[in-house]
Structure 1
Amino acid sequence: MFSRPDTPAGGAPRRRRRALAALLAGMLALPAAQAAPGCAAASWPLWERFAQRFMQADGRVIDYSVSQQHSTSEGQSYAMFFALVAHDRARFDKLWSWSVANLAGGDIGARLPAWQWGKKTDGSWGVVDPNPASDANLWFVYALAEAGRLWSEPRYTQAARTLLAQVAEKEVADLPGLGPTLLPAPSGFVLKERIWRLNPSYLPVPLVRALERLDPQGPWKAVAASHARMLAETTPHGFAADWVAWEVPEGGGKGAFVTDPEKGDIGSYDAIRTYLWAGMTPRADPLAPLLRQQLSGMATALQSVPLPPERVRTASGEVEGAAPVGFSAALLPYLQSLGLSSALEAQRQRVRTLLLEAPPETPARYYDQVLGLFGTGYMEQRYQFLPTGRVQLRWEKACPSQKSQNAAATDRH
């Protein structure tokens, strides 16, 4: 009933393929980019290696480190952003088309993309976990909205608005005493009555600024405020946790952030992104001073240890283990924003040796590659975030005719 994972239809049942193909052709298939002379896809070796190792021809991104050979909405959305940074519209289109067809059942107006797709226990291929992931959905929205602006394609912009409306409806909750807050998913994160699990790494500040512009009547200013409060009240030693919880006493009363009762106060593979996003937040952003003040723990740790710790205890500030090279890549923008030149150079050298200049036969870890693309892409000035939330891309300078089209499209909207 289900096709092999390397077929264009992914896991869709055969009887639905023609219908899905027609839908995608009519609504999602977009014309090839009208590139001006000298406006070809930007050369980005790390992106090319990532695409060759982890991305199928049909647009599916695979994490081979797990037995299910699974794909996630996070992986798809990140790759769309990287494709935009690389001016790689062909791959961008395939990534989005695969995501809609296989994670959203062909209709993003009816459902949010499922979090996980892969090999099921019965040997078939399809959605493994249908619960959406809000961070992936925000990256989908952002990549689509910015692609619509930069490539002058209104259908991308409309898809971004359609998806964002669902996120606001299903993944933002008005928590007692905290206000509108981004939940990790529509279900499964209310631990028990009046305790909500939250993830500090799910909301990059530059993205929420873009959402405020895309949906000015939406809850995004309030969401940014609750996010800022979460970071201010859950980082006593300057370290971010993977997960935290918001608890309101039974019978009402003032709520408070508490240690997640199941995950504990560990900061590790999720939390590393919190420092990454903070480092890329423009200095002119109102939350930039808070981010740099509240997330100082990793900078302090690197004064006494040569490598980023793999795990930290946020309640005590204790650190343990040596993290993989992806953590070093993620910390490059953070260390630069703090002006820590010695620590920056040490991590930059590690990234250069183990990631950028590693021999082709070196085994590549998916998450290291993702963090490497974010961190080194930013440091190489392939992209920068503006205070408005817009992304500024290196290839824009090589595309003057396209920039004028973008300006005209912006004026029309």
Structure 2
Amino acid sequence: MGTRRRNASRRARRLRAPVGLVALLLAASSLAGCGTGGSSATSLPSDLAGPATAFLSAYVDPDGRVVRRDQAGDTVSEGQAYAMLVAVGSGDRATFGRVWGWTKQHLQRPDGTLSWRWADGAVVDPASAADADLDAARALVLAGKTFGDLDLLADGLRVGQGVLDVETVETSAGRVLTAGSWAGTEPWAVNPSYVSPVAYALLGEASGDPRWNDLAVGDRAASTRLLTSVALPPDWAQVHADGRVEPVPGAAGRGGQGVRYGYDATRLPLRFAESCAPEDRALAARLVTPLEQSPGSAAERDLGGRPLTADRSVVGLAGEAAALAASGDAAQARDRLAQAATLQQEHPTYFGGAWAALGPAFLTSTVLGGCAPLSPA
């Protein structure tokens, strides 16, 4: 035990953690909610356990690698982070340990962030993706508290510091999150659905680094500017040093399908609706009008809300549920969550399975550190 504490202390010093951090944890001060207002629950309610178990059992290999079985069998940092969130929310320490162990060994970069894609036994794209890094850091901090493990907390702080150092930039709108390590020149590529107010609050409380609050304020300002010019957020955008934010057709401004609200952007209302800040929930709620103007819950829409396909998606339905929940329409929100669960059961996919588990967890449970806009069913 003495060796473990010494190792944790050295790790904390390398991360430039606040002097009182380890003492705070050793004194058993709760990190649940971490200033977000979340409760101290440590596992998902029983009605949410089924989708979580289904995702972990279907897509996590015994060694901890999350396999996109319906997408050529590769692995991405996003999937590893999703599994970590699902596992810590379920109180499944063994699965969490395997998933993080594989991720740390195979994907972690020297700067603390994670390489984006792995296939055929090796990393095939070493660039980072900011959403995966934020979700992984959030999961690690929560796991440190839930499982009483200072090593996991230190790992989470290291990933989080990498996010701040590598994946954020200062603009006149404030500090904003870029899409990843590859988005290093102005105009900076951003993915509006990567913004995670709950992760910022958790990591800010755990680290004491004021840049997390700066990031929360700056990204809220950038998201507000974006939603002042368009009704729905785009999958991809770019931000300028003067704070201008504009939709673009794909990562780095390139994409064959054009500007749209699709499989990426539909996560934005989920991340903002789970926030404890009223301003964030208000941003999620303002999406109800464009989403509700056309029935059918299309998986992809133009930025005014017009459907671009007859297809539906689990994450699209969960995103609608989030916007409705943030607006106070609990009945319709629950209906969309039920539709999402049915769709995943009828047409199971890796991405759908992740959000069939995480969507209800964000919206109806505080176990992942947010303020659920819906009470448990």
The Cα offsets for residues 84-121 of structure 1, whole Å up to 9 and x where unpaired, read as 111100000000000011112xxx665422110013xx
| Greater CA drift, 73-82 or 237-246 | 237-246
- Alignment partner, residue 366 of structure 1: 350
Alpha-carbon distance between aligned partners in 2 of 1:145 and 1:346, rounded to the nearest angstrom: 32
Matching residue's letter, 1:296:
R
Alpha-carbon distance between aligned partners in 1 of 2:54 and 2:347, rounded to the nearest angstrom: 12
Alpha-carbon distance between aligned partners in 2 of 1:384 and 1:126, rounded to the nearest angstrom: 31
Contact 1:115/1:132 (8 A) holds in 2: yes
Matching residue's letter, 1:205:
P
Deviation at 1:74, TM superposition (A): 0.8
Alpha-carbon distance between aligned partners in 1 of 2:44 and 2:336, rounded to the nearest angstrom: 29
Contact 2:291/2:320 (8 A) holds in 1: no
- Alignment partner, residue 66 of structure 1: 71
Q: Which has the higher helix share?
A: 2
Alpha-carbon distance between aligned partners in 2 of 1:289 and 1:42, rounded to the nearest angstrom: 23
Alignment of 1:2-401 (within 5 A): 44-67=49-72, 69-104=73-108, 111-119=112-120, 125-175=121-171, 177-188=172-183, 190=185, 194-235=186-227, 236-248=229-241, 254-260=242-248, 261-263=253-255, 264-282=258-276, 285-288=277-280, 290-292=282-284, 296-297=286-287, 299-314=288-303, 316-322=304-310, 323-341=312-330, 343-355=332-344, 358=345, 362-379=346-363, 381=365, 383=367, 385-386=369-370
Alpha-carbon distance between aligned partners in 2 of 1:95 and 1:303, rounded to the nearest angstrom: 38
Contact 1:281/1:385 (8 A) holds in 2: no
Contact 1:279/1:335 (8 A) holds in 2: no
Deviation at 1:352, TM superposition (A): 4.3
Contact 1:326/1:372 (8 A) holds in 2: yes
Alpha-carbon distance between aligned partners in 2 of 1:40 and 1:199, rounded to the nearest angstrom: 30
Alpha-carbon distance between aligned partners in 1 of 2:112 and 2:162, rounded to the nearest angstrom: 8
Deviation at 1:383, TM superposition (A): 3.0
Alpha-carbon distance between aligned partners in 2 of 1:225 and 1:327, rounded to the nearest angstrom: 26
Q: How many residues in Structure 1 have an aligned counterpart in Structure 2?
A: 324
Contact 2:67/2:74 (8 A) holds in 1: yes
The Cα offsets for residues 318-372 of structure 1, whole Å up to 9 and x where unpaired, read as 33223223321343233222122453354244234333xx3xxx55111111111
Matching residue's letter, 1:178:
A
**Aligned-residue identity in percent:** 22
Deviation at 1:203, TM superposition (A): 1.6
- TM-score computed with the length of structure 2 as normaliser: 0.77
Matching residue's letter, 1:78:
Y
Larger Rg: 1
Contact 2:317/2:336 (8 A) holds in 1: yes
Larger RCO, structure (CA 8 Å, separation 6 or more): 2
- TM-score computed with the length of structure 1 as normaliser: 0.71
Structure 2 residues not aligned, in runs of 5+: 1-10, 12-41
Matching residue's letter, 1:76:
Q
